[in-house]
Amino acid sequence: MTIQSMPVVGLEGVVAAETLLSHVDGEKGELVIAGARVADLAFAESFEAVTARLWSLASGTAHDAADLARDLGRARLDAHARMPAIFAVTDGMPIVDGFRAAAAAIHQHGTTRPEVALLGAMPVIAAGLVRRANGLDLVRPDPGLGQAADLLRMLRGEAATDSETAALNAYLITVSDHGMNASTFAGRVVASTGADLFMAVTAAYCALSGPLHGGAPEPVLNMLDDIGSVDRIESWIDDALKRGERLMGFGHRIYRVRDPRADVLKAAVEKLDRAGRDLGLAARVETYARKALATHKPDRKLDTNVEFYTAILLDALQIPRQAFTPVFAAARTAGWIGHAMEQQRKGRLLRPASVYIGDMPA
Ligand code: ACO
């Protein structure tokens, strides 16, 4: 087999596209979103402003942050009006599945631009499914608020504090885009066929939902709950690794050092005026997990990834764990849409090859 025809299992290192949207440097532990370091954006900008930057780069047309915030508010109201019809499809489904069905059902209607209709619908669907699952009435969106503040308000039925809103806003920005991750790639493949943004985002969400990608935070919280106290940390982690299990919230395809998003989200948790779970226990779990992973896989640098502090932050914001993946999607939709726009504008049909290893006919 020649080098050219050797398969790259898992597509590691394969370049699938050029992008203006974000850059991940796995050796330095650096994430640049739309030209700025994630740590410089997270507490300085609104999610709407970062989305406007991404979409301006992707589409080659300027998107104004204030206009986008206003249009997203209207799109949330539109989505709210559609929730009864959506519940007819999603009732009885777990939240993570209901979100997929609802995102697919939000398919283009009316005159709202598709990218705005989609991004505006995400917090409405996430909050709506959570409240429905708990037997609570829906909360009408407030179009004057930002996505972060309105998501928390629609989930809880009352306004969040400024520090909570700032923390969720920082989260939405931090995970808004991240290079050619699995869900973004899935979305770009779909967009490359000429399918529309709704199709691309639905496909991306399906890829996100797996436990190796955006489905990790719920198991992180389950792990922290199960460990429960400092004296159980070492035995719990050692036993899990002996059983061949992966520690959720650790390891990454690209980062060989700590995921820079973990630091941003840890800072967001620390800035909250209401503490969530025991941060001391979480920090000790993190420290021991990194040590144990270094022994377990000495040739593979496995460090904390974004999902460890995502779980702690979203839990501190009283977001139920079943909604973690939908809330992640509500943020990453900004990036998915940007990538789909970029793919449709500049890309070619994505159609890789495979190496046939089966029998040939006689
Ligand atoms: N715990 C224990 N072992 C691990 C972990 C982990 N968290 N991560 C990797 N390993 C092991 C693998 O089992 C593998 O061992 P093997 O060679 O004996 O099979 C070795 O380290 C190399 O790992 P890979 O599978 O090559 O890592 P890959 O780049 O394919 O996967 C991934 C990256 C999926 C994130 C992996 O580290 C993982 O499963 N982590 C836990 C799940 C998680 O936290 N996911 C969220 C990622 S962030 C995000 O997507 C938003």
Our answer on whether the CB atom of 248 is closer than 6 Å to any ligand 1 atom is yes
- State what percent of residues in the chain have pLDDT above 90: 87
Give residue 252 CA to ligand 1 midpoint distance, Å.
6
Res 250: pLDDT: 96
Q: Which of 259, 281, 267, 268 is nearest to 317 (CA)?
A: 268
Q: In ligand 1, which atom is closest to the CA atom of 182? A: 50
pLDDT tens for 122-157 read 999 999 999 999 999 999 999 999 999 999 999 999
Our answer on whether the CB atom of 305 is closer than 6 Å to any ligand 1 atom is yes
Residues 232, 220: Cα–Cα separation, whole Å: 16
**For ligand 1, mutation pick of 12, 238, 252 (most atoms within 8 Å of CB):** 252
Residues 362, 357: Cα–Cα separation, whole Å: 15
Res 3: pLDDT: 46
Judge whether 117 and 104 are in contact, CB under 8 Å.
no
Res 293: pLDDT: 97
With a cut of 70, say whether residue 6 has pLDDT above it.
Answer: no
Query: Rounded mean pLDDT of 258-270?
Result: 95
With a cut of 70, say whether residue 5 has pLDDT above it.
Answer: no
Res 347: pLDDT: 81
pLDDT tier for residue 215 given thresholds of 50, 70 and 90: confident
- State what percent of residues in the chain have pLDDT above 70: 97
Which residues are the active-site residues?
A: 252, 307
Q: Which of 198, 296, 173 is nearest to 242 (CA)?
A: 296
Residue pointed to by tokens 């969106």: 141
pLDDT tier for residue 111 given thresholds of 50, 70 and 90: low
pLDDT tier for residue 108 given thresholds of 50, 70 and 90: low
Our answer on whether the CB atom of 246 is closer than 6 Å to any ligand 1 atom is yes
Ordered by where they begin, the domains of the chain are 22-210+321-346 (1.10.580.10), 217-316 (1.10.230.10)
Strand partners, 178: 180
Give residue 196 CA to ligand 1 midpoint distance, Å.
32
Name the residue with the closest Cα to ligand 1, atom 28.
253
Give residue 145 CA to ligand 1 midpoint distance, Å.
38
Name the residue with the closest Cα to ligand 1, atom 50.
213
Residues 321, 138: Cα–Cα separation, whole Å: 19
pLDDT tens for 10-49 read 888 889 999 999 999 999 999 999 999 999 999 999 999 9
Name the residue with the closest Cα to ligand 1, atom 31.
253
Residue pointed to by tokens 């009435």: 137
State the distance between the two ends of the chain, measured CA to CA, in whole angstroms.
22
Q: What is the 3-state secondary structure (H, E, C) of the chain?
A: CCCCCCCCHHHCCCCCCCCCCEEEECCCCEEEECCEEHHHHHCCCCHHHHHHHHHHHHHCCCCCHHHHHHHHHHHHHHHHHHHHHHHHHHCCCCHHHHHHHHHHHCCCCCCCCHHHHHHHHHHHHHHHHHHHHCCCCCCCCCCCCCHHHHHHHHHHCCCCCHHHHHHHHHHHHHCCCECECHHHHHHHHHHHCCCCHHHHHHHHHHHHCCCCCCCCHHHHHHHHHHHCCHHHHHHHHHHHHHCCCCCCCECCCCCCCCCHHHHHHHHHHHHCCCCCCCHHHHHHHHHHHHHHHHHHCCCCCCCECHHHHHHHHHHHCCCCHHHHHHHHHHHHHHHHHHHHHHHHHHCCCCCCCCCCCCCCCC
pLDDT tens for 305-348 read 999 999 999 999 999 999 999 999 999 999 999 999 999 998 89
With a cut of 60, say whether residue 2 has pLDDT above it.
Answer: no
pLDDT tier for residue 110 given thresholds of 50, 70 and 90: low
With a cut of 80, say whether residue 8 has pLDDT above it.
Answer: no
Residue 187: half-sphere exposure toward Cβ, Cα within 13 Å:
29
Residues 64, 114: Cα–Cα separation, whole Å: 16
Residues 155, 80: Cα–Cα separation, whole Å: 13
Burial class (CB in 10 A: 0-12, 13-18, 19+), 107: middle
Give residue 9 CA to ligand 1 midpoint distance, Å.
14
The pTM of the whole model exceeds 0.85: yes
Q: In ligand 1, which atom is closest to the CA atom of 259? A: 48
Query: Rounded mean pLDDT of 168-173?
Result: 98
Question: Alpha carbon 326 to chain centroid distance?
Answer: 8
∠ Cα 277 281 282 (to 5°): 75
Our answer on whether the CB atom of 202 is closer than 6 Å to any ligand 1 atom is no
Pick the more confident residue, 112 or 134: 134
Strand partners, 23: 32
Mean pLDDT of the chain: 94
With a cut of 80, say whether residue 277 has pLDDT above it.
Answer: no
Q: In ligand 1, which atom is closest to the CA atom of 310? A: 51
